[in-house]
Structure 1
Amino acid sequence: MQSATGRNMIACALVALTLAACGDRDPELMNINRSQRTPDEFAILPNKPIQQPETYAALPTPTPGGGNLVDPTPDADAVAALGGDPRRVARNGGPLVGDPGLLNHSLRYGRRDAIRAELAAADLEYRRKNDGRLLERLFNLTIYYKAYEPYALDQHAELERWRRAGARTPAAPPQVE
């Protein structure tokens, strides 16, 4: 009786391990529980500060679902940070349409049209090769940090390298001894 129960338990464990090992899905290195009832901090975008316009005629006409002056504009902000004209983003529909200076600067090292697909395929292959051990997959453990550890930057060594090169790093905290 005891040996039959033990055999059944071993058989159940083997079936569970076999099913966990033979999934044909994309490997997920960061296992986050999506059923939590907590807010998504990445869905919250801060608005721009409210400012008094020079004239009230400059205000946009209110339209349902339309934008207003305090809405975040990450594309226009990125164009302005790179030295382009952020007003051209809104007028022409994109930063590459009417700003030749920004276009020339961003393409100075060349361009590969399929870079996103190439990187996605390379990352998928890397995740498949580094998707964790059997028990890590079985218990849905996060292995993201272990998998990408070879690509991690040692911040203290990099800071010392820049300091030895003579770069000023006033905002960097001192290394804890």
Structure 2
Amino acid sequence: MPRAWLLIAGLVLAACSGEERDISLRDLRSFTDGPDEFSIIPGKELQAPKDYSALPTPTPGGSNLTDQDPIGDGIAALGGRASARQLGTGIPAADGALVTHASRKGVPSDIRESLAAEDEDFRRRKSRFTKIRIVKVDRYSEAYQREKLNAHAVQEWWRRRGVATPTAPPDDR
């Protein structure tokens, strides 16, 4: 009997080891045989241009005027400029004052790299026993639960201090 326990313990430890372990915490695979309806993005409606000479040159594998831009459309729906995405990685002039104020106490030059390394370490720690599951589940929300902001509690915190706050959707607890 003790040998069986040693064998089981060895198998469990072997399953938890290795650098090739998936630390993404996401399992969004479809387990059906049908097509993935979310991978199909219909094109925009075809329209005759006002000036045929103003059309862009076709580029194989590139975008065209009928391609959807869900991220750009979302930015525009929230009041932003979808064209700001395509200007590059620079800071738009309209946001200069905001960036200056936010960085008034200094900004580490390697902030993106250090945050990426910290998040990778966090995901690695939270994914230690993800392979020991009977059913694969998406553990992302579970892992980041302590990082989530409770908007209603924060709103009440500010209201108790006399700060005027905007209304919020009803609490769905």
Query: TM-score, normalised on structure 2?
Result: 0.59
Amino acid in the other structure paired with 2:114: E
1:39 to 2:36 alignment:
yes
1:12 to 2:7 alignment:
yes
| Equivalent residue number for residue 101 of structure 1 | 93
1:166 to 2:164 alignment:
yes
Query: Secondary structure of 1:127's partner?
Result: helix
Please tell me whether the aligned partners of residues 48 and 70 of structure 1 are also in contact (alpha carbons under 8 angstroms).
yes
| Equivalent residue number for residue 121 of structure 2 | 125
| Equivalent residue number for residue 138 of structure 1 | 132
More relative contact order, 1 or 2 (CA 8 Å, 6+ apart): 2
User: How far apart, CA to CA, are the structure 1 residues paired with 2:141 and 2:86?
Assistant: 40
Please tell me whether the aligned partners of residues 27 and 127 of structure 1 are also in contact (alpha carbons under 8 angstroms).
no
Report the RMSD for the aligned CA atoms in angstroms: 4.3
Equivalent residue pairs, number: 160
Amino acid in the other structure paired with 1:138: I
Alpha-carbon offset, residue 106 of structure 1: 6.7
Task: List alignment gaps of at least 5 residues for structure 1.
Answer: 1-5
Please tell me whether the aligned partners of residues 82 and 102 of structure 1 are also in contact (alpha carbons under 8 angstroms).
no
Alpha-carbon offset, residue 30 of structure 1: 1.6
Please tell me whether the aligned partners of residues 75 and 95 of structure 1 are also in contact (alpha carbons under 8 angstroms).
no
Amino acid in the other structure paired with 1:22: S
1:153 aligned residue (149, 170, 173): 149
Q: Find the structure with the greater CA-based Rg.
A: 1
Percent sequence identity is: 29
User: How far apart, CA to CA, are the structure 2 residues paired with 1:45 and 1:175?
Assistant: 34
Task: List alignment gaps of at least 5 residues for structure 2.
Answer: none
Query: TM-score, normalised on structure 1?
Result: 0.58
